[in-house]
Copies of this chain bind each other. A is one copy, B any other.
Amino acid sequence: MTSITEKKKAATAPTRSRMTAADRREVILDAARTAFADTGYHETSLDAVAERAGVSKALLYEHFSSKRELYVAMLEMHVHELVERISGAVAGAEPGEPRMRAGLEAFFGFVEERRGAWRIMFRNAGDPDVAVRLDRLRDEVAAAIVQLMSEEAERRGLGFPKLPQFVEMIAQQMVGAMQSLADWWDLHQKVPKDEVVQAAMDFAWIGQERISRGERWSG
């Protein structure tokens, strides 16, 4: 193992330590995450990121060829984790309601544990190229939901073919609703995760009509 000779655990002291490229890259990505989360893409200068990372701006360019590339690399890291968590949870659950609940739990679990990451991912776009990337991700998630819904329909021996775009529209709404709820939760962190998941199930699964009749899922 490439032998981490000495864990720089004593990093508290201003050790003007030279790192391996890989380690330094991590430090930079982490600084980028917090910096961008605090002030957004446009309003965060690379000087600020460099300062947070404790290095010169020039060094950033040894690791990333542009501001955008840095941002995207950081973003992709978290996106990857989120996707892994959700798809893992979904794959390991029974079809139907349990699957949906598992997905929601995984999603809101991520949001809870990594507030900063979440905020970066969907509230801070700013740059159009970055926004395009996020849109693409969003569409991929929607496509995955479409896939699940179609399997579900087949399993039950029916389909939604009449409106070719129908399932996609449902999936887009699902994604939007969850994103919106996560944003709200970010501003109301006191609300426990269970209640958030519950509200998501209520809205997306049993629907408005029943809600307005006073019903709740799994009462």
Q: Which residues of A contact B (CB under 8 A)?
A: 39-40, 42-43, 96-97, 100, 123, 125-128, 131, 149, 152-153, 156, 158-160, 163, 165-166, 168-170, 172-181, 183-184, 188, 191, 195-196, 198-200, 202-214
Contact = CB atoms under 8 A, between A and B. Distances in A.
Q: Give the interface SS of chain A, mostly helix, strand, loop or mixed.
A: helix
18 contacts: A43-B128, A123-B131, A126-B126, A159-B214, A160-B214, A165-B191, A169-B195, A169-B200, A170-B208, A170-B211, A172-B181, A173-B178, A173-B181, A173-B204, A177-B180, A205-B207, A205-B208, A206-B209
B184 A177 contact: no
Nearest to A195: B163
A204 B214 contact: no
Contacts of A200: 169, 173
Contacts of A149: 212
B181 A169 contact: yes
B156 A184 contact: no
State the number of copies, please.
Answer: 2
Contact of A207 (B43, B196, B199, B208): B208
Given A40-B128, A203-B173, A97 B153 contact: no
Given A42-B42, A177-B177, A199 B156 contact: no
A139 to B, nearest CB: 9
B184 A168 contact: yes
Nearest to A159: B214
Contacts of A203: 169-170, 173-174, 204, 207
B212 A184 contact: no
Contacts of A202: 166, 170
A42 to B, nearest CB: 5
Given A153-B212, A169-B199, A214-B158, A178 B181 contact: no
A176 B170 contact: no
Contacts of A166: 195, 199, 202
B181 A179 contact: no
Contacts of A160: 211, 214
